[in-house]
Structure 1
Amino acid sequence: MRKKSAPQRTNNNGFIRIISGQFRGRKLPVNDLEGLRPTTDRVKETVFNWLMQDTRGANVLDCFAGSGGLGFECLSRFAAHATFIELNKKAAEQLKNNANTLKLDNTKVINKSAIEHLTSDNQGDKFDLIFVDPPFRKGLAEPSCHLLEQNNWLADEALIYVEVEKECTFDAPENWHVLKEKQAGQVLCRLYQRN
């Protein structure tokens, strides 16, 4: 009788890999938590090909940070600062640990609901590059995007990356226009620019 081998950990439940920049190839641990759905390397490569000229010096907001894969990728590519919003306490702690591992002092982790945080009127810096990649099938993408627009979170020509399930009906704010769009499996990816 063959002995069953232990399940292999994959990059979706054990670590994320930074694909380019100063931390290229670094693997950062990720907690295996329900609902945590790190962006795949394939999708990440597409997104950062779209954003190739836009990460350096950007003030980044990762709204449903989870593993932090998108925000850390920006920091690897010389973003000025990244703010991670993550509701799950363990995931938020891991984001802080990973920032410390990379010796980053230009990050902020906010452990609360993105919707709750974005509901308040932003009195601080505006964000140039925003990631909205919420848990699927919870109806969080559209309200998050409208709160970003309504409550002064966005720089004038901000770029907003939205990742939703392909069957999601999603209405962006009227002054956002689609720059890029791609479907990868069950995922629909869009990059918007604010006018």
Structure 2
Amino acid sequence: MNRPSSPRRPSPASTAQAPQEVRIIGGQWKRTPLPVKNAPGLRPTPARVRETLFNWLGQDLSGWRCLDAFAGSGALGLEAASRGASEVTLVEQDPSLAKGLQAIVTRLKAEGSVRVERGDALAAMRQRQGAALDLVFLDPPFGDGGNEALFRSALQAARGAIGVNGLIYLEAPVVWTADALASLGLQVHRQGRAGQVAFHLLRTLAVD
């Protein structure tokens, strides 16, 4: 079985306490702070990575239907909503984090476009098989050694939830190879690395 390239141990900087807040960087809620709870495994996507991602996606996501499957701080899904996405679902299993996300959505008066769903990310994606979503965000807990089984399950579930032209954003501790992604029916559209984090924008594998 083809695997992602070998994981690296997190550096001391990457295992430090999470920042207490991050900020939305574009759109109608630009500069809005999002509190970050000190929760195990919570690792908000850095601003420079989000900026790169939304440069790839385009600044205007009007009409997009998105799912933030491991929402955490909500930074990815709320960034999409801030830039015009018409439907964003934030899925978070931790009850405290889910409650915090709902408070943010209420504060932003975003109930018309953003929904918080407390539950398992894999189950949420599997329930949406064939939903033809435009974008699924995947930023699962890294875990010791890369948590490859969770990542493979998440990618497989997300693949079934997006449309023909849909996209999957994946954040991981390793770079996923073309062969590993092809086995899941996916291919790289864009990718990059920031410190110990590899980030990928994926689409369905083209069929000849």
Structure 1 counterpart of 2:181, from 143, 163, 172: 172
Counterpart of 1:100? 106
2:116 corresponds to which residue? 109
CA distance in 2, matches of 1:107, 1:84: 7
The alignment covers a number of residue pairs equal to 183
Task: Tell me the equivalent position of 2:35.
Answer: 29
What is the alpha-carbon distance in structure 2 between the residues aligned to residue 190 and residue 148 of structure 1?
A: 14
**Which residue of the partner structure matches residue 39 of structure 1?**
45
Deviation sequence 1:24-65 (CA, Å, 0-9, x none): 111122222111100011111111111115622110110111
User: What SS does structure 1 have at the residue aligned with 2:181?
Assistant: coil
Measure the CA separation in 2 of the matches of 1:149 and 1:41. 26
Contact 2:158 2:168 in 1 (8 A): no
Q: Secondary structure at the match of 1:94?
A: helix
Q: With a CA cutoff of 8 Å and minimum separation of 6, indicate the structure with the bigger relative contact order.
A: 2
Q: Paired residue for 1:190? A: 200
Contact 1:23 1:76 in 2 (8 A): yes
**Gap change, CA 1:67 and 1:135, over 3 Å in 2:** same
Give RMSD over aligned pairs: 2.3
**Offset, 1:118:** 2.7
* 1:54-78 Cα distance to aligned partner (Å, 9 max, x none): 6221101101110000000001100
Asked if the contact 2:69/2:124 (under 8 Å) is kept, the reply is: no
- Please give the TM-score of this superposition, normalised by the length of structure 1: 0.85
Task: Find the partner of 1:50 among 46, 56, 71.
Answer: 56
**CA distance in structure 1 between the aligned counterparts of 2:61 and 2:158, rounded to whole angstroms:** 19
Gaps of 5+ in 1: 1-9
SS of residue matched to 2:90: strand
1:160 aligns with 2:142: no
Task: Give, in whole Å, the separation in 1 of the partners of 2:46 and 2:192.
Answer: 14
Cα distance in 2 between the residues matched to 1:72 and 1:12 = 19
Distance in structure 1 (CA, Å) of the matches to 2:17 and 2:45 = 10
Identity of aligned residues (%): 35
List runs of 5+ in structure 2 lacking aligned partners.
1-15
Normalising by structure 2, we get a TM-score of 0.80
Distance (Å, rounded) in 1 between the aligned partners of 2:97 and 2:176:
25
